[in-house]
Chains A and B, each alone.
Chain A
Amino acid sequence: MAQSLSVRGLFRARRDGSYAAASTGYALLALALMMAVVCGVALGAYAIPLPRLGDALLMRAGEGLAAADVHVLWSIRLPRVLLAVICGAALALGGCALQGLFRNPLADPGLIGLSAGAALAAALAIVLGGQLFGPLARSFGLYLIPAAALLGAALAAWLILRLASHHGRTSVLMLLLAGIAINALCGAIIGGLQFVANDDQLRNLTFWTLGSLAQGRWPVVAITAAALGLGGVVLWRLRLQLDALNLGESAAYHLGVDVQRLKLWLLAAVTLMVGVSVAFTGIIGFIGLVAPHIVRTWLGPSHRHALLASALLGAVLLVSADLAARTWVAPAEMPVGVLTSLLGTPFFLMLLARRRHGFD
Chain B
Amino acid sequence: MSMESEGLHAHAVELVRHGRRILRGVSVTVRAGELVAVIGENGAGKSSLLKVMAGELRPDGGSVSLDGRLMTALGARALARRRAVLPQDLALGFDFEALEVVLLGRYPHTGGGESSAERAFAMHCLALTECAHLAHQRTTTLSGGERARVQLARVLAQLGREGEGGRYALLDEPAASLDLSHQLALFELLARLTRESGIGVLVTVHDLGLAMRYADRIVVLRGGSVVGETPGSLDEELIRTAFGVEAEVRRHPQVRHCMVALNRVAHPGAG
Contacts of B229 in A (CB 8 A): none
Assembly CA distance A256 to B77 (angstroms): 4
B100 engages A248 (CB within 8 Å): no
| CB pair A250 B87 closer than 8 Å | yes
Q: Does A302 contact B (CB under 8 A)?
A: yes
B36-64 vs A: 1/0 string, CB under 8 Å?
A: 00000000000000010010100000000
CB pair A17–B141 under 8 Å, yes or no, is yes
Q: Quick check: is B149 within 8 A (CB to CB) of the other chain?
A: no
Q: How far is the CB of A194 from chain B (nearest CB, A)?
A: 40
CA gap between A122 and B86 in the complex, in Å? 47
CB proximity to B under 8 Å, residues A99-124? 100, 103-105
Contact (A256, B97) CB under 8 Å given A240-B111, A247-B92: no
Q: What are the residues of chain A within 8 A of B79 when measuring CB–CB?
A: 256
* Contact A16 to B136, CB < 8 A, known contacts A243-B104, A255-B107, A301-B95: yes
With contacts A17-B138, A103-B94, A300-B96 taken as known, whether A254 is within 8 angstroms of B81 at the C-beta atoms is no
Q: C-beta contact mask, B89-122 vs A, less than 8 Å → 1, else 0?
A: 0111111110011001101100110100000000
Q: Given contacts A17-B136, A300-B100, are A255 and B94 in contact (CB under 8 A)?
A: no
How distant is A164 from chain B, measured CB to nearest CB, in Å? 15
Instruction: Let me know if A19 and B76 touch, CB within 8 A.
Output: no
Cβ B107 vs Cβ A246 within 8 A? no
Q: Is the CB of B112 within 8 A of A240?
A: yes
The answer, among A251, A256, A258, A302, for a CB contact under 8 Å with B81, is A256
What's the minimum C-beta distance from A255 to chain B, rounded to whole angstroms? 5
The interface residues of chain A lying within 8 Å CB-to-CB of B81 are 256
Contact of A244 among B78, B95, B107, B141 (CB under 8 A): B107
When the two chains form their complex, are residues A104 and B93 in contact, meaning their CB atoms are under 8 A apart? yes
Chain B interface extent, by class: 35 or more
Contacts of B101 in A (CB 8 A): 247
Secondary structure of the A contact surface, majority rule: loop
B136 touches A246 (CB 8 A): no
Contact A253 B158, CB 8 Å, known A246-B92, A246-B96:
no
Contact B104 A244 (CB under 8 A): yes
The answer to whether A248 and B91 touch across the interface, beta carbons within 8 angstroms, is: yes
User: With A and B bound together, what is the CA distance between A301 and B76 in angstroms?
Assistant: 25
Q: How far is the CB of A320 from chain B (nearest CB, A)?
A: 26
A177 CA / B94 CA spacing, docked (Å): 22
Q: How far is the CA of A300 from the CA of B90 in the complex (A)?
A: 19
Whole-angstrom distance between the alpha carbons of A251 and B108 in the complex? Answer: 12
Number of A-B contacts (CB under 8 A): 91
| Chain A interface residue number, banded | 20 to 34
Name A249's closest neighbour in chain B (CB-CB).
B56
The yes or no answer to A77 lying at the interface (CB within 8 A) is: no
Nearest CB on A from B152, distance (A): 13
Tell me the complex Cα distance, A244–B100, Å.
10
The proximity string for A residues 279-321 relative to B, scoring 1 for CB distances below 8 Å and 0 otherwise, is 0000000000000000010001110100000000000000000
Query: B113 to nearest A CB, angstroms?
Result: 9
Instruction: Say if the beta carbon of B84 comes within 8 Å of chain A.
Output: yes
Give the nearest-CB partner of B158 in chain A. A255
- Knowing A103-B94, A247-B92, the reply to whether A256 touches B76 (Cβ < 8 A) is yes
B91 & A296 in contact (Cβ 8 Å cutoff): no
A257 within 8 A of B: yes
Say whether A18 faces chain B, with CB atoms less than 8 Å apart: yes
Q: Report if A13 contacts B (CB, 8 A).
A: yes
Given contacts A247-B104, A300-B96, A302-B96, contact A254 B54 (CB under 8 A): yes
14 A-B residue pairs with Cβ-Cβ distance under 8 Å, sorted by A, are: A18-B138, A100-B94, A103-B93, A243-B96, A244-B107, A246-B93, A246-B96, A246-B104, A247-B92, A256-B76, A256-B78, A296-B95, A300-B96, A300-B100
Given A243-B104, A246-B93, 14 further pairs, Cβ under 8 A: A239-B112, A243-B112, A246-B104, A247-B92, A248-B91, A250-B51, A250-B56, A251-B85, A254-B54, A254-B56, A254-B84, A255-B107, A256-B78, A301-B96
Show the binding face of A for B, using Cβ within 8 Å: 13, 16-19, 100, 103-105, 239-241, 243-248, 250-251, 253-258, 296, 300-302, 304
Smallest CB-CB A-B distances: 10 pairs: A103-B93, A256-B80, A301-B94, A240-B112, A256-B108, A256-B77, A254-B85, A18-B136, A17-B137, A17-B138
